[in-house]
C-alpha cells in the first residue's frame, strides 16, 4: 500500500506533527521553501500545510497531481491560490478559532497597559525617572466597554470584561442575542457605543464596509477620556485621524497591535506618543494558539484524507 505523504512547509507544533504521524502519514518537513523548491517537493504529496508563508501558487498546485488538501495553520488565506485549488477540487482548510482567546487576552492586556500607563511608566523607570505623578490611571470595574464586532474574539473579550465588572455594549450588523445575554451585553448603534464607552475595542474583519470605519468624525464622538484598542486590522482605523485625536486629546489613549503599514515604519508619529501602547501584531503569538492552530488543521487533513 502506498504511504500518504504530507508536506509541512512551515514550522508546526509537534503535537500537530504527531496527529499526522499517528494517522500513518509520512511527514516531509521543509521550512518556508521558495516556489521552485516547493514545486520539486509537491510531486507526490496529498496534503500541504503552510502558515502565512510560503505561497501556494497556481504553479505549485499544478505541479502536485496527488494533492487533495491544503491546510493553513491559522487565519487568512491570502497566500493560497484558492481559485486554482477549487478548479482542481483541492480542499482548503484553516483554523480561524484557534487564536480567539489569545487575541482577546492581548486586547485586555492592552487595555490595562493604557489604563494604568504601564508601558509609559516602564519607559520612565529605564530612564531613571520615578514618574509616579504622571502615571495616574483609571480602574476598569464599573466602566463601559464598547465592543465593535461581536464574533469569536469580541465574544472572548466580552467574557473577560464581564468578569472584570465592566458594562458591555456591543455593535455588530449580525447580532447574536444569545451570546450577548451570556455576557450581559447590550446591542446598540455604533454611534451610541462610541459616545457611551470608556473603552472601545475593534474586532471586525477588514472588508470594504470596515475600511477606515473609525475615522475623524467617529473619533470625535468618543469621550475625551476614552481608550481605543485595535487588535483586528490596521486599516479599520484611519491612522492619520487617530494620530490627530491622540495629539489633540479628543481621546485619552490607544493600544494597537495592528497597523495600516506593517512593520510600523521607524519614527512613525505613533511611536512619539506617550499615551499609546504598541505591539508588533502578536495577538495570536502564544504557545497555546499556535498549538491549537496546528492540531486543528492536522485533524481536518486526517479526516479528509481518511474519510
Residue span binding ligand NAD (CB under 6 A) among the ranges 51-59, 121-129, 169-177, 191-199: 169-177
**Catalytic residue (choose from 281, 288, 292, 299):** 281
Applying CB under 6 A, among 94, 99, 201, 296 the residue interacting with ligand NAD is: 99
d(CA 167, CA 292): 31
Q: Tell me the sheet residues that pair with 8.
A: 29, 49
Q: Is 105 in the site for ligand NAD (CB under 6 A)?
A: no
Applying CB under 6 A, among 149, 253, 255, 294 the residue interacting with ligand NAD is: 149
Shortest Å, Cβ 299 to ligand NAD: 19
Active site residue 179: no
Residue 206: CB atoms within 10 A of its CB come to 14
**Residues numbered 189-208 forming contacts with ligand NAD, rule: CB under 6 A:** 203-206
Q: Tell me the sheet residues that pair with 5.
A: 26
Sorted by sequence, the CB contacts under 8 Å of residue 53 that are 6+ apart come out as 10, 32, 79
Active site residue 203: no
Chain-centroid distance of CA 221 in Å reads 26
Sheet holding 91-94, edge to edge: 26-29, 5-8, 47-50, 69-72, 91-94
| Residue number with the smallest Cβ distance to ligand NAD | 151
Shortest Å, Cβ 171 to ligand NAD: 6
User: 246 is written with which cell numbers?
Assistant: 491622540
Active site residue 233: yes
> Which one, 33 or 149, has the nearer CB to ligand NAD?
149
What is the torsional sign of CA 205, 210, 216, 220? negative
**Residues numbered 261-300 forming contacts with ligand NAD, rule: CB under 6 A:** 281, 283-284
DSSP characters over 68-112 = -EEEESSS--TTB-HHHHHHTT-EEEE-TTTTHHHHHHHHHHHHH
> Which one, 19 or 293, has the nearer CB to ligand NAD?
293
Applying CB under 6 A, among 96, 135, 223, 304 the residue interacting with ligand NAD is: 96
Q: What is the DSSP letter of 56?
A: B
Q: Is 46 in the site for ligand NAD (CB under 6 A)?
A: no
Residues that bind ligand NAD (CB under 6 A): 75, 96, 99-100, 103, 148-154, 171-174, 203-206, 209-210, 231-233, 257-258, 281, 283-284
Residues with active-site annotation: 233, 262, 281
Amino acid at each position: 500500500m502506498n504511504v500518504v505523504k504530507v508536506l509541512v512547509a512551515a514550522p508546526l507544533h509537534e503535537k500537530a506533527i504527531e496527529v499526522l504521524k499517528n494517522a500513518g502519514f509520512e511527514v516531509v518537513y521543509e521550512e518556508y521553501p521558495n516556489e521552485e523548491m516547493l514545486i520539486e517537493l509537491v510531486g507526490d504529496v496529498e496534503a500541504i500545510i503552510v502558515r502565512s508563508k510560503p505561497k501556494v501558487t497556481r504553479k505549485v498546485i499544478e505541479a502536485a497531481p496527488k494533492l487533495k488538501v491544503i491546510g493553513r495553520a491559522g487565519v487568512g488565506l491570502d497566500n493560497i491560490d484558492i481559485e486554482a485549488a477549487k478548479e482542481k477540487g483541492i480542499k482548503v482548510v484553516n483554523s480561524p478559532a484557534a487564536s480567539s482567546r489569545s487575541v482577546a487576552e492581548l486586547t485586555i492586556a492592552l487595555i490595562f497597559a493604557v489604563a494604568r500607563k504601564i508601558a509609559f511608566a516602564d519607559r520612565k523607570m529605564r530612564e531613571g525617572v520615578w514618574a509616579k505623578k504622571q502615571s495616574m490611571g483609571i480602574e476598569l470595574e464599573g466602566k463601559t466597554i464598547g465592543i465593535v464586532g461581536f464574533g469569536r474574539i469580541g465574544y472572548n473579550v466580552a467574557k473577560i470584561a464581564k468578569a472584570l465588572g465592566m458594562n458591555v455594549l456591543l455593535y455588530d450588523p449580525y447580532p447574536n442575542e444569545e451570546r450577548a445575554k451570556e455576557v450581559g451585553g447590550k446591542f446598540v448603534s455604533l454611534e451610541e457605543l462610541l459616545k457611551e464607552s470608556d473603552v472601545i475595542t475593534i474586532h471586525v474583519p477588514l472588508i470594504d464596509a470596515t475600511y477606515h470605519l473609525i475615522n475623524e468624525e467617529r473619533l470625535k464622538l468618543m469621550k475625551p477620556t476614552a481608550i481605543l484598542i485595535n487588535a483586528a486590522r490596521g486599516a479599520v482605523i484611519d491612522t492619520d485621524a487617530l494620530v490627530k485625536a491622540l495629539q489633540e486629546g479628543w481621546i485619552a489613549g490607544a493600544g494597537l497591535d495592528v497597523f495600516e503599514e506593517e512593520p510600523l515604519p521607524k519614527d512613525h508619529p505613533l511611536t512619539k506618543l506617550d499615551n499609546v501602547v504598541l505591539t508588533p501584531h502578536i495577538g495570536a503569538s502564544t504557545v497555546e494558539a499556535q498549538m491549537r492552530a496546528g492540531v486543528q488543521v492536522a485533524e481536518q487533513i486526517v479526516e479528509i484524507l481518511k474519510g
